[in-house]
């Protein structure tokens, strides 16, 4: 495929969505075939991308650039490094798996697959974009399909289904649901998602526009901005412009991650979404936040990142503990998995905050591993709901007798989420913990407590669903027996276990993207430090001393970093 690889990956789902417009909903198998075919092309190209990426060479590869507006400095600039490559693969895997998880959807099947394909393509576009304009464009594009998929094919919670209005009409059948923001209807979940993400996206957009204006380069190109943008020392509102931009970028994108306290939209969205949408939501949509922070804040504002990233180190503790405790007490399967996902995203922020090559490599690997594990759990939670029409854990039980394959896969999914050896999640968690210990020991202790919490609530959910006595009203439930039903789970399990036994290519690819980024952040000498060094030079010169030159500090730091890296090697 060569240089066209990224175009195949990105546009295959879009072409599939366009082709579906001209197909009748009555032709169900043709609709499914087009959706699966376009997703399969994207998956094949992603696999080629992943294994053809030269981790020795590193940097951005498979680059394509198409000028969109010369006057505004906008271009469709696509490329992947060691950080974006595995996330593109994760998006393609989950899209292909999600097509089969949704194989039995009968309500407006064509429209469902159209929006699912657009959602996945939008996330892939973010992971490929090397232009701030198109990064934000694809980021916002992902919100529209989520709203429609939740609002049209989602489901109400049990509490909402039982509520009635003053006239006795069930609230789910009443037009008053539009104003019913006090309960978790699917409309409420969809609207909350859009409002949260759009509001904070405006903050991120303000940061991007400030970079564009005050860089003086008249370009949105990330590769140009990271080398030439100088945003330090511009005084604004009692601080400097770079700090304001960093705060806008960080919190603007952290909402989708989701970082506490910006998380509340996410579990509600998980609970209301159909299974395939939850898979993409938890698997890749939530990773857009971490990735965008790395791509924009880390790349363009490395000095400010080193100075302000401890903010994430503090907030990630609340994400881990709060999400874990709420998941433990939740009784809805999707709420348990949803709050679990919010909790686990705290580990990614911890790995990012430590600014160590081991921790950041672990964080990126964890994003990939978490995508597979959580998507598995949501796929199986969707199967259980389709068979029993309830997500209420206390009312279920004993389903392993009726669903041996699903229950077995559920055990694997839980083990992966906990980070048990034998899954790639274990490798990623260990790297985050080891890489973060020297800088944030308290946060690491909290993270270990979070792992114990994860074990507790996932085992509790697994026991409540599949073991103990079974209510006879669920005796009609059956296992996944056909190939379309089993294939997505088998794919995700194979990836999760396979990368544990053969992790080196994934590790090498990720590290090729992490190493230069960490080197840039940790080796740079902040302006304030430079001023202090210059003052020291002047004072020692006056006293006849022979100080180190300012550049010696940077050179020594570079040599220390190199020696440390060789030692770790």
Predicted confidence (pLDDT) per residue in 94-104, tens digit: 999 999 988 88
Q: Judging by DSSP bridges, how do beta strands 61-69 and 74-80 pair with one another?
A: antiparallel
Q: What does the pLDDT look like over 151-188, one tens digit per residue?
A: 777 776 655 445 555 555 555 444 444 444 445 566 77
pLDDT at 338: 85
pLDDT at 501: 93
Q: How far is CA 311 from the centre of its chain?
A: 19
Q: What are the helix (H) ranges across 273-354?
A: 275-280, 287-292, 299-300, 302-308, 310-329, 333-353
pLDDT at 241: 83
What's the CA angle centered on 284, arms 302 and 227, to 5 degrees?
A: 20
Task: Phi first, then psi: give them for residue 392, nearest 5 degrees.
Answer: -80, 110
The count of other CB atoms within 10 Å of the CB of residue 490 is 13
More confident of the two residues 284 and 269: 284
Q: Which residues pair with 235 in a beta bridge?
A: 240
pLDDT at 427: 92
pLDDT at 227: 84
**Highest-scoring range by mean pLDDT, 228-232, 260-264, 367-371, 561-565:** 367-371
311 to 172, 258, 554: CA distances (angstroms): 41, 15, 26
206 to 259, 288, 295, 472: CA distances (angstroms): 20, 18, 16, 57
pLDDT at 397: 81
Using CA atoms, how far apart are residues 538 and 283, in angstroms rounded to an integer?
55
Using CA atoms, how far apart are residues 296 and 245, in angstroms rounded to an integer?
10
Q: Judging by DSSP bridges, how do beta strands 74-80 and 235-236 pair with one another?
A: unpaired
> For helices 527-542 and 550-568, what crossing angle results, to 10°?
120
The count of other CB atoms within 10 Å of the CB of residue 65 is 14
| Residue 160 near residue 134, CB atoms below 8 Å | no
Q: What are the residue boundaries of the structural domains of the chain, listed by start?
A: 2-159+176-524, 530-566
Using CA atoms, how far apart are residues 222 and 216, in angstroms rounded to an integer?
14
Using CA atoms, how far apart are residues 155 and 146, in angstroms rounded to an integer?
14
User: Which DSSP string do the residues of 392-438 spell out, in sequence order?
Assistant: BGGG---GGGT-HHHHHHHHHHHHHHHT-TTSHHHHHHHHHHHHHHT
pTM score, two decimals? 0.84
Residues 6 or more apart whose Cβ sits within 8 Å of residue 233: 240, 527
Using CA atoms, how far apart are residues 441 and 89, in angstroms rounded to an integer?
33
> Terminus-to-terminus CA distance in the chain, angstroms?
34
Output the 3-class SS for 1-20.
CHHHHHHHHHHHHHHHHHHH
When pLDDT is cut at 50, 70 and 90, the band that residue 323 belongs to is: confident
When pLDDT is cut at 50, 70 and 90, the band that residue 543 belongs to is: very low
Minimum mean pLDDT range among 161-165, 304-308, 550-554? 550-554
pLDDT at 182: 46
What's the CA angle centered on 185, arms 179 and 188, to 5 degrees?
A: 55
């Amino acid at each position: 495929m060569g240089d066209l690889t990224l175009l195949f990956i990105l546009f295959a789902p879009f072409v599939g969505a366009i082709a579906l417009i001209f197909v009748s909903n009555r032709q169900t198998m043709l609709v499914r075939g087009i959706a699966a075919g376009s997703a399969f092309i994207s998956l094949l190209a992603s696999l080629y991308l992943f294994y053809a990426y030269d981790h020795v060479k590193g940097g951005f590869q498979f680059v394509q650039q198409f000028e969109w507006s010369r006057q505004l400095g906008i271009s469709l600039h696509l490329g992947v490094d060691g950080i974006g490559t595995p996330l593109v693969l994760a998006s393609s895997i989950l899209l292909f798996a999600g097509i089969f998880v949704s194989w039995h959807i009968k309500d407006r099947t064509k429209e469902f697959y159209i929006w699912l394909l657009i959602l996945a393509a939008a996330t892939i576009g973010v992971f490929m974009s090397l232009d701030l304009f198109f990064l934000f464009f694809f980021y916002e594009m992902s919100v529209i399909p989520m709203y429609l998929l939740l609002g049209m094919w989602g489901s109400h919670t049990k509490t909402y289904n039982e509520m009635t209005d003053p006239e006795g009409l069930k609230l789910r059948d009443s037009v008053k649901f539009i104003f019913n923001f006090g309960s978790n209807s699917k409309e409420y979940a969809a609207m909350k998602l859009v409002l949260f993400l759009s509001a904070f996206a405006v903050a991120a957009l303000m940061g991007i526009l400030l970079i564009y204006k005050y860089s003086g380069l008249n370009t949105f190109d990330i590769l140009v901005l990271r080398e030439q943008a100088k945003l330090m020392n511009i005084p604004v509102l009692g601080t400097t412009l770079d700090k304001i931009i960093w705060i806008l970028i960080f919190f603007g994108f952290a909402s989708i991650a989701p970082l506490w306290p910006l998380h509340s939209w996410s579990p509600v969205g998980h609970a209301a979404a159909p299974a395939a949408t939850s898979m993409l939501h938890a698997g890749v949509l939530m990773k857009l936040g971490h990735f965008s922070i790395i791509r924009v804040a880390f790349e363009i504002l490395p000095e400010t990142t080193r100075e302000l990233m401890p903010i994430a180190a503090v907030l990630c503790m609340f994400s881990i503990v709060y999400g874990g405790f709420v998941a433990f007490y939740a009784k809805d399967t999707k709420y348990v998995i949803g709050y679990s996902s919010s909790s686990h995203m705290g580990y990614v922020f911890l790995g990012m905050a430590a600014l160590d090559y081991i921790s950041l490599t672990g964080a990126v690997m964890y994003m990939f591993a978490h995508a597979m594990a959580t998507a598995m759990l949501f796929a199986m939670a969707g199967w259980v709901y389709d068979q029993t029409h309830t997500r209420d854990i206390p009312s279920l039980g004993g389903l392993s007798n009726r669903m041996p394959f699903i229950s077995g896969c559920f055990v694997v999914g839980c083990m992966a989420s906990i980070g048990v050896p034998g899954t790639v999640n274990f490798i990623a968690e260990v790297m985050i913990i080891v890489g973060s210990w020297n800088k944030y020991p308290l946060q690491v202790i909290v993270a270990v407590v979070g792992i114990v919490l994860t074990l507790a609530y996932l085992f509790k959910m697994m026991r409540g669903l599949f073991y103990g006595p079974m209510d006879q009203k669920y005796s009609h439930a059956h296992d996944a027996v056909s190939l379309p039903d089993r294939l997505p789970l088998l794919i995700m399990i194979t990836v999760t276990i396979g990368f544990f036994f053969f992790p080196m290519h994934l590790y090498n690819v990720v590290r090729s993207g992490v190493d230069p980024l960490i080197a840039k952040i940790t080796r740079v000498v902040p302006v304030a430090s430079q001023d202090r060094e210059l003052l020291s030079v002047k004072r020692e010169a006056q006293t006849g001393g022979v100080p180190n030159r300012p550049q010696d500090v940077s050179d020594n730091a570079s040599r220390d970093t190199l020696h440390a890296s060789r030692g770790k090697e």
